Structure 1
Amino acid sequence: MAEGTALRQADFSNDTTVVGLLARNAKEIGSQVAVKEKDFGIWQEYTWQDYLDNSIYFAAGLEVLGFQAEEALLLIGDNRPDLYFGTVGVSALRGSPMPAYPDANPQEVLSFAHESRVRYAFVEDQEQVDKLLDLREEIGTLEYIIYSDPRGLAAYSAPGLVSYAEVIEKGQQAIQANPALYDDLVTRAQPSDAAIFVHSSGTTGKPKGVILKHRNVLAGVRNGFQGGSLEKNEVIMGYLPMAWIGDYAFTVAAGIALQWQLCIPEQQETLLRDMREIAPTFYLAAPRSWDNMLTNIQVGMQDAPRFKKAVYHYFMDLGFKVEKKRFEGQAPSLWERINRVVGEFFVYGPIKDAMGLSRIRTAYTGGEAMGEDTFLFYRSLGVALRQLYGQTESSAFNSTQSKDEVRLHTAGKPLPGVIVKIDESGELLLKSESNFEGYYENEKATVETLVDGWLHTGDAGYLEEDGHIVVLGRLSEVVYTAKGERFIPNYIENRIKFSPYVKDVAVLGRDRDELCAMVCIDIDAVGNWAELQGISYISYADLSQKPTVYDLVRDAIAHVNETLPEPLQIKRFSNLHKEFDPDDGEITRTRKLRRKVVEERYTDVIEALYSDKKEVTVKAQITYDTGETGTIERNLSIREV
């Protein structure tokens, strides 16, 4: 937002709840479509009145089953209207909706259930029902399992197994018997009650429980709207993991407060196809998602005819040049502007159409740092991508780049209502009404994170003279080589991951003389390349060790090395035999690297990288989807860059 511009006033305050704002929407625009879901190829629609009715009926039905205020409801599943209705419904009862990742392994589910002594769970389908039934005895407290999709469950007779439709029916009957109950449930929750119970990413340890209250999440939305970072009446895709605060903050809180239309894909696998049909106006994705879309484009261009490739590269090079000029404060030449118009017709427009980004007004990346080249790629297409900075503990975001002040190295200025300062250690501290009030039953972590109202983010950074926030990375990840060179591994990793052939990478070098790397190839991109080259392979591990694949990765690292000072260039690397996997604890469910786990697990590889060995044999324990473990043995090559 430009200096001197008056703040826009939001038409809601902290003295309300998400449920109350949903009721406002039902009253003002009740017949308008609030939610759309693709089901068997057809978009099913729910109005704002439907949204409210389903949420309140669910709340009433859950209360009939004995649910009480301040209890937690465990939610597991992909994005579905029923799960969103249940999320709002639980908060109407002054309870805490607690989503878990749909691919969470049994131990993770068990940890969540034990943490809040869960008596009620609401899941998507048979897969999640089976998971909970298997864990029921270990959980000990679980009384009811509510399911949305009844397919495959007709013969199940476990006690406490109830369909979503049955809960809705119980709620309708309760309200028919006592009509005043409907309005009571609309107004029962208070701004100081829980809106959502999520967990920190857990990059440095076990995820910590974070209860955000209605006044916290709505303060975040209000700050964003007043600062011009959020607009009314957007169309948004509901695809982000419900366990990530970004989904609740934007899909539910902002979606309801700012009257956005929520569109839910048929499956996660059909997101791109369904996005093309909807063409949303607002899109938020973690850098990994933006990277994946970019990889799909780059892989597609490998198969393109020579002329089409030439046209693509000409206009993309032009786009990069123009965007870099803009970031440096220079205006593009007349010839460049004319070529951009031509490029919109031949390259930029068709690519945006193919990705479902043709109507985008607001696009953000958040969750972790994005590689500069990826950011420039989308800006070159004409997608006004901007950086967003925030944490789970602060209701998802504290700063965004404004439309007129996008810089490659900053996360924009603090939003209205957010105060930022830097302490003596270089850590970013935040103060805002959107901040949480403490970790769930974890006083030690709370007093370390919240000090005199200031949220200690754990991020290293600084403020530029005009107020822009520069985030350098996690304070715990600012490391030094044995020669005293300071670096942040994540910064280098993000640049290497711009290559379509690299899915993940761990850069090493703490207290070492030089930097090395362990790489996980992208099986889709490398597999497609191998097919075009006539290279056969039988598994991920087999493909990763092909000499020609090592050449691909070496070239990607060498390209990044050209932009780094000599002491911080990668000298040696090895392609790992498997991807980093959240089930193995190597990355979080949002694909953030758990560096300590990785460095402990791959000690043999790391020691080999810092020796004169050309090969290393690894024995790795892996965890299967069932929770069972196994061991595999592989020889990994080590290559100089």
Structure 2
Amino acid sequence: MTEQTFPQRMLMHAERQPRHCAIREKEYGIWQALTWAELARLVEHFACGLHQAGLRRGEHLVVIGANRPRLYAAMLAAQSLGAVAVPLYQDAASAEYVFPINNADIRFAVVEDQEQVDKLLEVRAQCPQLAAIYYDDPRGLRNYDAPGLQPLAKLIVDGAALAAREPTRFADEVAAGSPDDVAAMFFTSGTTGQPKGVVHSHRSLLDRALAGAEFDRLTDREEVLAYMPPAWVGQSMFSYAQWLACGYVVNCPESAATVSIDMKEIGPTYYFAPPRIFEGLLTSVMIRMEDAGALKRRMFHAFMSLARRVGPRLRDGQPVALTDRIAYGLGNVLVYGPLRNNLGLSRVRVAYTAGEAIGPDLFTFYRAIGVNLKQLYGSTETAVFVCMQPDNQVKPDTVGVPCRDVQIRVTDTGEILVRSPGLLREYYRNPDATREVKTDDGWYRTGDAGFLDAQGHLKIIDRAKDVGRMAGGAMFAPKYIENKLKFFPYIKEAVAVGDGREMVCAMVNIDFEAVGNWAERRNLPYAGYTDLARKPQVLELVRDCVEKVNADLAADERLYASQIERFLVLHKELDADDGELTRTNKVRRGYVAEKYQVLVDALYGGRTEQYIETQVKFEDGRSGMVSATLPIVQARTFPPVKAAA
């Protein structure tokens, strides 16, 4: 099946199941569906329109926007002509588009709406080769008069006319495609330096999509909700590559604000989200429980205590006492079932998380309430699917076993190497970077540190470059510590510092919604994030979370020395627009440590507070300053707990 291209797969589904739904979009509160036959016709007209406009084999077409059927059709249309789809993040600042557009010599762009049009017009002087911009949503664009700017609707009408004149044009172009042609290019999030264009063929993407589908026995009857940015390779694999591999239904929510409602309406059977989404869902649950009556809160906590003890064992088919089974069944009726339904997870057969490590406690919570949440391991360069967790072999501290045709090797330094049919072809126009990650004998250097346990499951410790040593020689794994902190609903983000130091310190972002709700219930007034973050009561709340993490670390023989001794709550939320996060919401740790060096110095200098002033970018593009004097808090640490003999 990997001897095909994505457009060839689409035509196969259009022939086998022409009337089955391929993709839905919610518009004005109503779900609109396209069948496979209708999708194939749309792609044909789209491709003919692009051909007539001048898009040629081997060229790149940039696609910017949220998950929309016509943007998916744009990628298929480009690939039908032998061109390469290049999705970019729709929430990126306009300046972030300049490098990828120029790097790939892009002449044609397909965008969602006015916001994306404005961004491209703003940088057009820096990208003189950008000749044509096609937009899907015409709202707000009636009076725009820029060269090469036109609605997708007109392009499709023009393409339909060409298809009528040359009825074999589209089929001939699709048939000329080879599985080894380049299908897509994904730009890395760039945690350090300039982003790199990861080049993938139809074969590499389809092979990994099919490997994942075989692993979990996916069928054409799955329902998937596509709500993460298509430029993120994880979303692209689940809602594009596997969609075309399996022929299931992809659902596009109306907007980011309606995702939770749309999810309940659709009831996805196959679900994928990075840890941050699962953290947000859990935070919303905890906020609602804090607002509930005393009896409901007691019942919730009692049944959740039971669920954490026996839920994962039941999920994995392990023996559980009859009394616990009965009690869990009652909890399923009263708590777990309604909770899954409220989260939109009641029909989920398989749920995955990836993109970064997930905290063991957070992971166990979902499995405890009956959600088959599993972890997978991969990256943009490996087309995602490297390791997956088999049913009934799910461990919170591993990412599973290698899936089909994957080999894993761990170097003497602990770095994980991967050999797989899903490896990138190259970094576009960057041979030096390609040589850094690909060995002559076909291994990919992941940059992650880890090991294979006795059962063959891969365990990731941290990024190899981030794993360090304390001044006393003990291991320091910042991501592991940060994930433990982020399990608490009151902590949204954390940055741990300690490599080469005598102690570990942390900078924390509170979750404004969760802590704001907590403060309002206690009649604690505040005037925004900065004010709330400095309240003594909030600092005590965070201190309690930090000390619970320290108690857990004390029981870990490798990391007991990494307990957090001092911390502060940042005066602003870490933001991608300020360069502190990537577009996939990963912390750019080196940049943050450098930007807030004055705070790091204060943490290690024994100070009790530190003044800081920081420039920020507002949503409307303006810049401003945020300043505050941040209290520095001492946290209690615990002696190491010896494991029982």
Shorter-normalised TM-score: what interval? over 0.9
Is the counterpart of residue 621 in structure 1 residue 611 in structure 2?
no
Deviations 1:148-184 (A, max 9, x none): 0011111111110111111111111111111111211
* d(CA) in 2 for partners of 1:629, 1:268: 25
Question: Is the CA contact (8 Å cut-off) linking 1:236 and 1:261 kept in structure 2?
Answer: yes
Question: Is the CA contact (8 Å cut-off) linking 1:56 and 1:185 kept in structure 2?
Answer: no
Is the counterpart of residue 217 in structure 1 residue 211 in structure 2?
no
Question: Is the CA contact (8 Å cut-off) linking 1:315 and 1:347 kept in structure 2?
Answer: yes
* d(CA) in 1 for partners of 2:381, 2:406: 13
2:639 aligns to what? none
1:610 aligns to what? 604
1:315 aligns to what? 303
Question: Is the CA contact (8 Å cut-off) linking 1:500 and 1:522 kept in structure 2?
Answer: yes
1:185 aligns to what? 173
* d(CA) in 1 for partners of 2:20, 2:372: 28
Shift of 1:623: 2.8
**SS of corresponding position for 2:450:** strand
Which of 477, 482, 489 is residue 493 of structure 1 equivalent to? Answer: 482
Shift of 1:614: 1.0
Which of 213, 231, 235 is residue 223 of structure 2 equivalent to? Answer: 235
Which of 139, 163, 167 is residue 151 of structure 1 equivalent to? Answer: 139
2:415 aligns to what? 427
Shift of 1:407: 1.1
2:352 aligns to what? 364
Which of 35, 44, 47 is residue 47 of structure 1 equivalent to? Answer: 35
Identity, % of aligned positions: 40
Amino acid at match of 2:553: L
Unaligned runs of 5+ in 2: 555-559, 636-645
1:375 aligns to what? 363
1:3 aligns to what? none
1:15 aligns to what? 3
Is the counterpart of residue 575 in structure 1 residue 569 in structure 2?
yes
Question: Is the CA contact (8 Å cut-off) linking 2:316 and 2:392 kept in structure 1?
Answer: no
Amino acid at match of 1:557: V
Shift of 1:626: 5.2
Is the counterpart of residue 592 in structure 1 residue 590 in structure 2?
no
More off after superposition, 96-105 vs 617-626: 617-626
Question: Is the CA contact (8 Å cut-off) linking 2:315 and 2:392 kept in structure 1?
Answer: no
Question: Is the CA contact (8 Å cut-off) linking 1:496 and 1:560 kept in structure 2?
Answer: yes
Shift of 1:531: 1.1
Higher RCO (CA-CA < 8 Å; seq separation 6+): 1
1:74 aligns to what? 62
Which of 619, 623, 634 is residue 628 of structure 2 equivalent to? Answer: 634
Question: Is the CA contact (8 Å cut-off) linking 1:229 and 1:402 kept in structure 2?
Answer: no
* d(CA) in 2 for partners of 1:111, 1:539: 36
Deviations 1:593-625 (A, max 9, x none): 111100000000000001221110112122334
2:372 aligns to what? 384
* d(CA) in 2 for partners of 1:330, 1:41: 43
* d(CA) in 2 for partners of 1:327, 1:563: 25
Is the counterpart of residue 348 in structure 1 residue 336 in structure 2?
yes
Question: Is the CA contact (8 Å cut-off) linking 1:479 and 1:510 kept in structure 2?
Answer: yes
- Structure 1 pair 189/264, CA: closer, same or farther in 2 (3 Å)? same
Question: Is the CA contact (8 Å cut-off) linking 2:18 and 2:37 kept in structure 1?
Answer: yes
Structure 1 residues 164-175: aligned runs within 5 Å: 164-175=152-163
Shift of 1:135: 1.2
Amino acid at match of 1:294: L
2:120 aligns to what? 132
2:545 aligns to what? 556
* d(CA) in 1 for partners of 2:315, 2:597: 42
2:106 aligns to what? 118
1:4 aligns to what? none
* d(CA) in 1 for partners of 2:283, 2:25: 27
Shift of 1:197: 1.1
**SS of corresponding position for 2:552:** coil
Unaligned runs of 5+ in 1: 1-11
Question: Is the CA contact (8 Å cut-off) linking 2:366 and 2:373 kept in structure 1?
Answer: yes
**SS of corresponding position for 1:134:** helix
Amino acid at match of 1:439: Y
**SS of corresponding position for 2:302:** helix
Which of 540, 546, 557 is residue 535 of structure 2 equivalent to? Answer: 546
Structure 1 residues 134-533: aligned runs within 5 Å: 134-228=122-216, 230-323=218-311, 331-451=319-439, 452-533=441-522
* d(CA) in 1 for partners of 2:326, 2:282: 25
* d(CA) in 2 for partners of 1:466, 1:552: 40
Question: Is the CA contact (8 Å cut-off) linking 2:221 and 2:248 kept in structure 1?
Answer: yes
Question: Is the CA contact (8 Å cut-off) linking 2:80 and 2:170 kept in structure 1?
Answer: no
Shift of 1:327: 9.4
**SS of corresponding position for 2:33:** strand
Shift of 1:56: 2.0
2:641 aligns to what? none
Amino acid at match of 1:600: E
TM-score with structure 1 setting the length: 0.96
Shift of 1:134: 1.3
Deviations 1:347-405 (A, max 9, x none): 01111111111100010010011001111110011001001100101111211100121
* d(CA) in 1 for partners of 2:566, 2:223: 46
* d(CA) in 1 for partners of 2:9, 2:587: 37
Amino acid at match of 1:478: V
Question: Is the CA contact (8 Å cut-off) linking 1:221 and 1:254 kept in structure 2?
Answer: yes
Question: Is the CA contact (8 Å cut-off) linking 2:220 and 2:249 kept in structure 1?
Answer: no
* d(CA) in 1 for partners of 2:411, 2:346: 43
Question: Is the CA contact (8 Å cut-off) linking 1:587 and 1:594 kept in structure 2?
Answer: yes
